[in-house]
A = this chain, B = another copy of it.
């Protein structure tokens, strides 16, 4: 298989290179960048010196079509444009938010820009792998979920689907490492300002909010707004979503455990914690795992669900490769069988 990576100099792109370089079915990669064409990867990224000997190429639709799969790790708008040009001529996995929302209006109001054409929005398969395996397997145009959305939905969808909880009562307190904010330097992520500090931002205004609401609505009776607070933690990788819901009558901890076990029985990347042992972000570092733990408080009747991922892996490039595997009939774990880096 020949893979193209567009936007190879961002954190999502460089993580794709790490994964695809060792993927058993990838024969060759081509890397594209709008800003650094002509440069050797190792010039910008000394860590790949002597390993990845690729030159960044100018983004060009004709060249892209010659690949079996094209990963778009590009900014909003650029993905929409490239998807429109390439759709149907090669398989596309888009890591941006451009194709995640089904309603153009919702896109416009949260992203503050024009959306991709409606036909594209309808055609794109939302690649939360564990919940859409069949569609992903058949997909030609795949929209890879957001990092927060992946972490949140993996932890809460089982309850919503089985009516153990109501989407409208969901409160999500999410914490992310700084790579989620990308590779462009900013005051927010300047080391001197972020080290030994804890930040909160875009409360109820983050773009992943409508994505979460849309996907919850697929499994609940109606679309309802959720409460979503993202935080920035002084660490490089990792997301933890701590979620709060009142449990429906009759549900207890054992029921939840059984529900999760059943739901994810055939999902190699979802690990359910036993006995209230809650996961830490470092326990999935560098891998495609999503670890989920939970407790039920009998005093309040509320469940607290904790879901962790590596935001660059299951939250981005890892899940993209997982989706690619399904789209090409490969084993789901192909090229993703890493043990978390510890410590």
Contacts and interface: CB of A to CB of B under 8 A. Distances in A.
A229 B237 CA distance: 22
Interface stretch (A115-123, A150-158, A170-178): A170-178
Contacts of A191: 178, 189-191, 194-195, 234, 236
Contacts of A104: none
Interface string A224-250: 011101010111111010101000000
A92 interface: no
Nearest to A238: B198
B339 A235 contact: no
A183 B304 CA distance: 29
A203 interface: yes
Interface stretch (A49-57, A81-89, A133-141, A254-262): A49-57
Contact of A185 (B185, B235, B304): B185
Contacts of A278: 200-201, 203
8 contacts: A179-B343, A191-B234, A193-B282, A196-B285, A197-B235, A203-B304, A204-B304, A229-B242
A231 B242 contact: yes
A219 interface: no
A295 B227 CA distance: 11
Given A45-B342, A48-B339, A234-B233, A190 B185 contact: yes
A222 to B, nearest CB: 14
Interface in A145-172: 168, 171
A69 interface: no
The number of chain A residues touching the other chain, given as a range, is 35 or more
Contact of A300 (B15, B226, B280, B302): B226
Interface stretch (A16-24, A29-37, A94-102, A124-132): A16-24
Contact of A339 (B17, B281, B302): B17
The count of identical subunits is 4
Contacts of A283: 46-47
Contact of A204 (B179, B194, B240, B297): B297
5 A-B pairs with the lowest CB-CB distances in the bound complex, closest first: A185-B185, A173-B173, A225-B299, A197-B282, A47-B340
Contacts of A47: 282-285, 339-340, 342
Contacts of A175: 175, 198, 231, 233
A21 B178 CA distance: 30
Given A191-B178, A227-B300, A282 B196 contact: yes
Given A18-B339, A196-B196, 18 more contacts: A11-B343, A22-B337, A48-B342, A51-B339, A177-B192, A178-B195, A185-B185, A191-B195, A195-B236, A196-B235, A197-B343, A198-B280, A203-B278, A203-B295, A225-B299, A231-B240, A237-B343, A244-B244
B192 A179 contact: yes
Interface string A256-271: 0000000000000001
Contacts of A173: 173, 229, 242, 244
Contacts of A295: 203-204
A286 interface: yes
